[in-house]
Amino acid sequence: MGGLSLPHLIVLALVVLVLFGRGRISEMMGDFGKGIKSFKAGMTDEDNKPVPPPPAQIQQQATPVQPAAQPTSTEQGQ
């Protein structure tokens, strides 16, 4: 009980053939095969892509902050 024997599988295959027809099944299997090939090609393309270098880091040069010129005592009085 519950197992699929050879007669059950034959009847199931005949029902599938009647519902879909022989041409439709071969089309679906062909599309399935193309999909697998496309997937494999996409995976190998991604593996072969060169890894882009990391973005260049901008190095800021440390410029010493110069204090604003303070007026001298002689400049204030004039």
Give the pTM.
Answer: 0.38
Whole-number pLDDT of residue 23? 81
All residue ranges of the chain with pLDDT < 50 are none
The pair of structure tokens assigned to 31 is 């599309």
Whole-number pLDDT of residue 63? 66
**CA distance linking residue 41 with residue 34, whole number of Å:** 10
Whole-number pLDDT of residue 10? 93
